[in-house]
């Protein structure tokens, strides 16, 4: 048995692990029920160097990260209004809150976690696989997509508990259901009822960059995000933030 930690230390570290896994489970749940508008306040640190990386680039700083989630929430509200206008017999008279997210799904189950708590318990690192699907409203109506990828996260301990500090949310496969992964994605005819669905979009990254190209038959070999290893302090490990790189050797 590793004698480095006392029984109390091991219990504290187990509680850290439980809190971090529960945080990511709640994050996944909030995506599923279209509550993205509350994600930043509930789970993210407001440190000035907080950042979110997606396939298309970085959201640099807490204001940009908040803006990303707020834009998803605004798009959900806009699309909900479109759905309500198309089906007045079913949805007419319902409150704005009860209509939020109608006809949409963003299922991001997280699994196969690897989590490392720093020796000093001030930070932690974790990586999770996403094997999900989502149905988004488009000018062609609701379109189902497969989404496989990762959440790769640096956490920081704050007064109220663990918070997300840096995150890379990267898609490996993002294709309409029924499409070949190594060919051209399936396309759908636009529908006049949904003509304005594309008018509201997710806020683009504040620092555009290709962090990862999704899988295709022509993509060069691209390693998966680096898996955390045991470390003592954050200075001893790599970062999932902008100051690090996804595939540092």
pLDDT averaged over the chain? 93
The answer to whether position 28 is within a domain reads yes
User: Is 90 exceeded by the pLDDT of residue 3?
Assistant: no
93-121 pLDDT per residue, tens: 888 889 999 989 899 999 999 999 999 99
pLDDT at 2: 54
Q: How many domains does the chain have?
A: 1
Residue 54 lies in a domain: yes
In a domain, 242, yes or no: no
At residue 32's C-alpha, the angle toward residues 194 and 27, to 5°, is 135
Residues 198 and 148: beta-carbon distance below 8 Å = no
Residue 245 lies in a domain: no
In the block, residue with structure tokens 């970085």: 58
Quote the pLDDT of residue 248.
43
Q: H-helix or E-strand containing 70? A: helix 62-86
Full residue range of the structural domain in which residue 90 is found: 7-236
Contacts of residue 60, Cβ cutoff 8 Å, sequence gap at least 6:
51, 206, 207, 242
The CATH number linked to 43 is: 3.10.450.50
Please report whether residue 2 resides in a domain: no
Portion of the chain with pLDDT greater than 90, in percent? 83
- The structure's pTM equals 0.93
> 149-183 burial, b for 16+ CB within 10 Å, e for fewer?
bbbbbbbbbeeeebbbbbbbbbbbbbbeeeeeeee
Residue 164 binned pLDDT confidence (cut-offs 50, 70, 90): very high
At residue 183 the predicted structure's pLDDT band, cuts being 50, 70 and 90, is confident
Give domain status of residue 121, yes or no.
yes
83 in a domain, yes or no?
yes
């Amino acid at each position: 048995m590793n004698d480095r930690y006392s029984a109390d230390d091991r219990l504290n570290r187990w509680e850290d692990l439980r809190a971090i896994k529960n945080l990511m489970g709640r994050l996944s749940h909030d995506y599923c029920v279209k509550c993205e508008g509350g994600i930043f306040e509930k789970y993210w640190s407001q440190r000035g160097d907080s950042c979110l990386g997606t396939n298309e680039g970085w959201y640099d700083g807490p204001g940009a990260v908040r803006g990303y989630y707020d834009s998803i929430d605004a798009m959900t509200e806009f699309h909900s209004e479109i759905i309500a206008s198309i089906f007045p017999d079913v949805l007419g008279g319902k409150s704005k809150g009860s209509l939020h997210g109608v006809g949409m799904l963003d299922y991001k189950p997280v699994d196969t976690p690897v989590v490392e708590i720093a020796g000093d318990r001030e930070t932690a690192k974790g990586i999770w696989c996403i094997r999900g699907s989502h149905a988004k409203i488009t000018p062609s109506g609701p379109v189902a997509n497969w989404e496989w990828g990762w959440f790769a996260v640096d956490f920081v301990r704050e007064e109220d508990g663990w918070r997300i500090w840096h995150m890379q949310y990267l898609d490996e496969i993002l294709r309409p259901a029924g499409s070949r992964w190594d060919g051209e994605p399936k396309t759908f005819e636009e529908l006049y009822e949904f003509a304005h669905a594309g008018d509201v979009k997710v806020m683009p990254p504040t620092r555009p960059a290709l962090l990862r190209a999704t899988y295709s038959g022509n993509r060069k070999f691209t390693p998966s995000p680096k898996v955390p290893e045991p470390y003592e302090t954050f200075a001893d490990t790599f970062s999932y933030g902008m100051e690090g790189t996804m595939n540092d050797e």
